[in-house]
Chains A and B, each alone.
Chain A
Amino acid sequence: SQQGEEDPQALSIQEGENATMNCSYKTSINNLQWYRQNSGRGLVHLILIRSNEREKHSGRLRVTLDTSKKSSSLLITASRAADTASYFCATETGTYKYIFGTGTRLKVLA
C-alpha cells in the first residue's frame, strides 16, 4: 500500500499545550498537505507545503517537511478544545490525486 503512516494514532492533551503529529510517506511527492476532519464530516484543508520547502507557518500551525526522510510534522501550538479532530497528511502522486495517511485522532481537554 502507498498509504502514509502517521503517529501517534491518538493523542490526548490539555488545552494550551502543543500537539505534534508526524507523517511518513513512501513515494516521491510534488507537495504534501494536512487536512482536518471533524467526526463524521468531510475534510478541511489546513496547509500545503511544496517539495522544495522545508517549513511553513499558518496561524497556530507549523509544518515541516524532510524529503530525504520522507516525513512531515504538524505542530499545533496553544491548542484549544475546538482543535479536537482527526488530522491527516496527504501526498500528491498525480494532479489532485492524493494518498492519505492513517491519521492522528487529537483530543484536547478543556
Chain B
Amino acid sequence: GAVVSQHPSRVICKSGTSVKIECRSLDFQATTMFWYRQFPKQSLMLMATSNEGSKATYEQGVEKDKFLINHASLTLSTLTVTSAHPEDSSFYICSAGQGTGANVLTFGAGSRLTVL
C-alpha cells in the first residue's frame, strides 16, 4: 500500500535556529501534500497545502514566512520552521493523497519538534 515517510521523527533545536522536516511518498507520486500541526491531546490543524511545482497554499493564521514549504518533486515536500521559538514546539504531520481516486490520505509518522 501507499507509504509516506517523514523525517526526522524527533528533533530538538535551540531557539533561533531553523529546522527542516521532510515528507516523502515512497511508492506513489503526490502532486499535493498536506502539513498539519498537532498539540498534545488535540486534533490536527491543517497548516498548508503543498503543491508540486508551485507555491503552497497556507491556511488562515499560518505565517508563510515562518513555515516555509517546498514541494520540488512529485515525491518530496519539505517544511522548514524558520527561526524557531519554544512556542513552535509541536507535533508536525504530513499527508498525501494516494491518487487512487478514493480520496484517502496516507500520513507520515509525524515529527516531534522541541525548541529549547
User: Is chain B found bound to chain A in the same assembly?
Assistant: yes
Q: Does B11 reach chain A (CB closer than 8 Å)?
A: no
* A88-B106 in contact given A40-B112, A96-B97 (Cβ < 8 Å): no
Q: B81 CB to closest chain A CB, in angstroms?
A: 18
A42 engages B110 (CB within 8 Å): yes
B46 engages A42 (CB within 8 Å): no
Closest to B108 in A: A42
Hey, what's the 0/1 contact readout for A10-27 against B, CB within 8 Å counting as 1? 000000000000000000
> Using Cβ atoms and an 8 Å threshold, which residues of chain A touch B107?
35, 42-44
B44 engages A43 (CB within 8 Å): yes
Question: Which of A31, A43, A44, A102: most chain B CB closer than 10 A?
Answer: A43
Q: Complex: how many Å from CA A101 to CA B45?
A: 9
Which bucket holds chain B's interface residue count? 20 to 34
Q: A103 CB to closest chain B CB, in angstroms?
A: 5
Known A-B contacts: A97-B46, A103-B42. Give 12 more (CB < 8 A): A40-B110, A40-B112, A41-B110, A43-B95, A44-B107, A45-B105, A45-B106, A48-B104, A92-B103, A96-B103, A99-B46, A102-B43
A binding-site residues for B, Cβ under 8 Å: 3, 30-31, 33, 35, 40-45, 48, 88, 90, 92, 95-103, 105
* A48-B42 in contact given A40-B91, A41-B110 (Cβ < 8 Å): no
> Using Cβ atoms and an 8 Å threshold, which residues of chain A touch B32?
95-96
